[in-house]
Amino acid sequence: MKGKKSFPPQEGAAPPSRCPDNSAFKQQRLPAWKPQLTIASVLSSFFLTGAFCLTVGVCLVLSANSVREIQVDYSDKCSDCSKLRENSSNWNKECHCSVNFTLKEAILGDIFMYYGLQNFYQNHRRYVMSRSDAQLLGRNVNIQRSYCAPFSTYRNGTPMAPCGAIANSMFNDTIDLFYNRNSSVIRVPLLKTGNSWWTDKNVKFRNPESYNLSSAFAGTARPPYWQKPVYLLDEDDERNNGYVNDDFIIWMRVSAFATFRNLYRRVRRIRQFAEGLPAGNYTFRISYNFPVTRFKGRKHVILSTVVWSGGSNPFLGIAYLVSGTAATLTGFVITGIHLKLRKKKTYFQKQ
């Protein structure tokens, strides 16, 4: 096969042009819509945006204010238990306390119970990274090398399950609610499942495959601050045990702020509580296990309803109100500038 011969460029010949081809695409001559801003279109966009944001903001704020919420701080009311928990050697000693409160009006509808923590910083970089997603997916319970250190193995080499600082610091107070009706005490039924996101329960967290959950975690040990191993988090419900335990899953979703709340239970609407919580006297009975004194923290129990926009957080509504107000004021400023310039232009034309 004969190849093509290449000839050297002749002296004095013009170098090849680097200009793009003379086509509509490469020369940017394609038809395009070029909007021309007029005073009418600009002002209408600002005022319509402002009206929309103000309307949505008012609706969100009114919706957030309609949420019924009861918040009880039990940090000082359980001071004896708090002092006991200051000494880590008392981890195996039980301590209980009771907190009474009164509902002057009934709370109707679905009611959610939260625990709240104050001055607990979960947004530290090393704290957020201190976990093993491979372990939480049930692929390998014996994690040796990961970001979990120093909460990965004990001195004798026994691996922790689950590992990491997040899991080790899991909130472990037990909170029960009782209704004091006349001379009888009725335990309010609470739901401990169905509180986590579906994606967390079915995708991000999995138990290791085994015929027995305790055998799946054989050769591992509980984290140092835990009172029981992970396969005993819920002995009554196998589907809520191990890594797929709702309380564990919710705690592993770290908060961005030092003051936060996590969903703990939901009131089961049966019998006397079919419509919600009736007015009367109530008692929180708390098994106090989570120490907060060393970092000057506070602990709360919150009973709250929800509306179509969520809980009692007016931030989104306030943000809409601020944006709507800014857009409306900008529209008025532009209107004033336009009228002033048009008046000045008319004056010079008359001259």
Task: Spell out the residues 6+ positions from residue 296 whose beta carbon is closer than 8 angstroms to its own.
Answer: 119
pLDDT in the model for residue 102: 93
Say what percent of the chain tops pLDDT 90: 54
CA angle 185, 228, 82 (to 5 degrees): 60
Nearest to 77 by CA among 103, 95, 93, 98: 98
How far, CA to CA in Å, does 87 sit from each of 83, 229, 288, 290? 8, 21, 13, 12
pLDDT in the model for residue 244: 93
Evaluate the omega torsion of the peptide bond into residue 35 and state whether it is cis, within 30 degrees of 0.
no
Backbone angles phi, psi at 117, to 5 degrees: -125, 140
Whole-number Å distance between alpha carbons of 45 and 331: 9
CA angle 108, 109, 115 (to 5 degrees): 95
pLDDT band at 145 (very low <50, low <70, confident <90, very high): low
pLDDT in the model for residue 62: 93
- Which amino acid appears at position 184 of this protein? S
Task: Indicate if the pLDDT at residue 339 is higher than 80.
Answer: yes
Contact status, residue 131 vs residue 149, Cβ threshold 8 Å: no
Instruction: For the chain, list the strands marked E by DSSP.
Output: 69-73, 96-103, 107-108, 112-118, 174-181, 184-187, 190-191, 260-267, 276-277, 280-287, 298-304
Whole-number Å distance between alpha carbons of 339 and 336: 5
Task: Indicate if the pLDDT at residue 264 is higher than 70.
Answer: yes
pLDDT in the model for residue 87: 80
The chain-wide mean pLDDT, for the chain, equals 88
Nearest to 284 by CA among 96, 69, 95: 96
pLDDT band at 85 (very low <50, low <70, confident <90, very high): confident
- If phi > 0 it is left, if psi is from -120 to 50 it is alpha, else beta; for residue 65 that is alpha
pLDDT in the model for residue 348: 61
What is the model's pTM?
0.80
pLDDT tens for residues 155-192?
Answer: 888 889 899 999 999 999 999 999 998 888 999 999 99
Task: Spell out the residues 6+ positions from residue 190 whose beta carbon is closer than 8 angstroms to its own.
Answer: 113, 176, 177, 265, 266, 267, 268
Task: Spell out the residues 6+ positions from residue 205 whose beta carbon is closer than 8 angstroms to its own.
Answer: 136, 137, 243, 244, 248, 249, 252
Instruction: Find the range with the poorest average confidence among 68-77, 167-176, 207-216, 317-326.
Output: 207-216
pLDDT in the model for residue 5: 56
pLDDT in the model for residue 3: 53
How many Cα atoms within 13 Å fall on the side-chain side of residue 35? Answer: 5
